[in-house]
């Protein structure tokens, strides 16, 4: 296992108010060379999970319980400095805003070379050569010249390629791609994801692929974890999740997609909205929006059994056409 996350809860302390838990009891595991997708809508805790993995949680947030095991080492047993060093050597992240993630006053080549030296301890000259090689590897034309340019001279797609070059410097075992292509045009997105897949195969990285786009999940992930309101509600291989989703939320998400080939019927929407994390309902957080909710759902949080956290899992039911006014509870 490149990564195993066991029952991790993230807590954010708030002055004069009760603490909130944006991530609650999340468990994940990822093998070398595999892609695991973490999907969910905004506010479901997927980015918070990534930040916890990368050790980049904001000030008031902390991992309250659970363990993170990175390439065989439990990060909780290390000193903060050792944990940071281990993360630096073994994992890398690519986020949505590549241009914002690069230093505007340093050349692209300098920044990639810096990452090479940080991970491998190469000499300055060797690191520079390696930087040019990496920029070529991610498909930047004329890398020798481009390495001397600055982020503002690059397009968004080129900056994202540069970020990926930075991330794969020193062959990390784990790549976290958090909405890495969301800001890109679709023709560019396809090419960047193809690049990540090539690199994953060539370098044997595990990729944690965080996205809200189920189309991308179907195309690129080996397995999927669906998050809702801080918890993983369903975990399965990509094939079985799409063929036979068991959790009503997963089913709702899949049914809400505009069907490329189908006749233009109504989309099946999920009524209501995601509850805010400081006002989660008792029991299953999805219960207020769920077509199958019963008394137990509003009182008891469902346990996760074989990757599924639901009191009433089952094959898809065709929901009745929802009345527009029903959206609000």
Partner 1 sequence: MTALLRATGLRKSYATGRAGLFRPSARFNAVDGVTLHIKPGETLGVVGESGCGKSTLSRLVLGLAQADAGEILFDGAPLPRADTDDWRRMRIRMQLVHQNAAGALDPRLPVRAQVEEALRIHKRAPERAARALSDVGLPPAMAARYPHEMSGGQLQRVVIARALALDPDLLVLDEPVSALDVSIQAQIVNLIRDLQAARGLAYLFVSHDVAVVRHVADRIAVMYLGRVVEEGPTAAFRTGALHPYTRALLDAVPVPDPGCRGGAVPRIGDPPNPAAPPPGCRFHPRCPFAVHRCRAEPPVLREFAARHHAACHRIEEIA
Residues that bind partner 1 in the complex, under the rule CB under 8 A: 41-42, 155, 157-158, 185-191, 193-194, 212-220, 238-239, 242-243, 252-254, 256-261, 264, 266-271, 273-274, 324-325, 327-328
Choice between 101 and 248, CB closer to partner 1: 248
Distance CA 22, CA 229 (A): 7
Query: Rounded to the nearest whole angstrom, what is the least distance from the CB of residue 212 to partner 1 in the complex?
Result: 7
Choice between 1 and 267, CB closer to partner 1: 267
- State the CB neighbour count (10 A cutoff) for residue 107: 17
Partners of 63 in the beta sheet? 10
Query: Rounded to the nearest whole angstrom, what is the least distance from the CB of residue 229 to partner 1 in the complex?
Result: 13
Query: Rounded to the nearest whole angstrom, what is the least distance from the CB of residue 37 to partner 1 in the complex?
Result: 11
Query: Rounded to the nearest whole angstrom, what is the least distance from the CB of residue 298 to partner 1 in the complex?
Result: 20
Q: Which residues lie below 8 Å from residue 179, measured CB to CB, with a gap of 6+?
A: 47, 95, 96, 210, 211, 212
Choice between 95 and 228, CB closer to partner 1: 228
Choice between 13 and 194, CB closer to partner 1: 194
Choice between 146 and 311, CB closer to partner 1: 146
171 conformational bin, left if phi > 0, alpha if psi -120 to 50, beta if neither: left
Integer CA distances (angstroms), 162 to 92, 175, 213, 266, in order: 13, 15, 23, 41
Query: Rounded to the nearest whole angstrom, what is the least distance from the CB of residue 326 to partner 1 in the complex?
Result: 9
Distance CA 217, CA 227 (A): 13
DSSP secondary structure, 262-289, as one string = S-S----PPPS-PPPGGGPPSS-TTGGG
Choice between 44 and 132, CB closer to partner 1: 44
Query: Rounded to the nearest whole angstrom, what is the least distance from the CB of residue 257 to partner 1 in the complex?
Result: 5
């Amino acid at each position: 296992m490149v990564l195993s996350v066991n029952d991790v809860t993230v807590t954010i302390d708030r002055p004069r108010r009760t603490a909130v838990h944006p991530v609650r009891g999340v468990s994940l595991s990822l093998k070398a060379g595999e892609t695991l997708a973490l999907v969910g809508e905004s506010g479901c805790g997927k980015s918070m999970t990534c930040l916890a993995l990368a050790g980049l949680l904001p000030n008031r947030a902390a991992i309250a319980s659970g363990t993170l095991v990175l390439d065989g080492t439990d990060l909780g047993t290390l000193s903060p400095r050792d944990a940071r060093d281990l993360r630096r050597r073994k994992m890398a992240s690519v986020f949505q805003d590549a241009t914002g993630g690069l230093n505007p006053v340093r050349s692209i080549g300098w920044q990639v070379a810096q990452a090479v030296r940080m991970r491998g301890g190469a000499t300055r000259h060797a690191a520079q050569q390696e930087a040019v090689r990496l920029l070529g590897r991610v498909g930047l034309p004329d890398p020798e010249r481009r390495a001397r340019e600055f982020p503002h001279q690059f397009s968004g797609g080129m900056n994202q390629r540069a970020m990926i070059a930075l991330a794969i410097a020193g062959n990390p075992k784990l790549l976290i791609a958090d909405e890495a292509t969301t800001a890109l045009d679709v023709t560019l997105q396809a090419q960047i994801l193809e690049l990540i897949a090539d690199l994953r195969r060539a370098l044997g990285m595990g990729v944690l692929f965080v996205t809200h786009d189920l189309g991308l999940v179907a195309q690129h992930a080996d397995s999927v974890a669906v998050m809702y309101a801080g918890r993983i509600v369903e975990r399965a291989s990509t094939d079985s999740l799409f063929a036979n989703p068991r959790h009503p939320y997963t089913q709702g998400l899949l049914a809400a997609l505009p069907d490329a080939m189908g006749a233009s019927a109504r989309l099946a929407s999920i009524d209501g909205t995601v509850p805010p994390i400081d006002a989660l309902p008792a029991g299953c957080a999805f219960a207020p929006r769920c077509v199958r909710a019963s008394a137990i759902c509003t009182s008891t949080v469902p346990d996760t059994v074989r990757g599924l956290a639901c009191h009433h899992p089952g094959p898809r039911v065709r929901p009745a056409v929802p009345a527009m006014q029903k959206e609000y509870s």
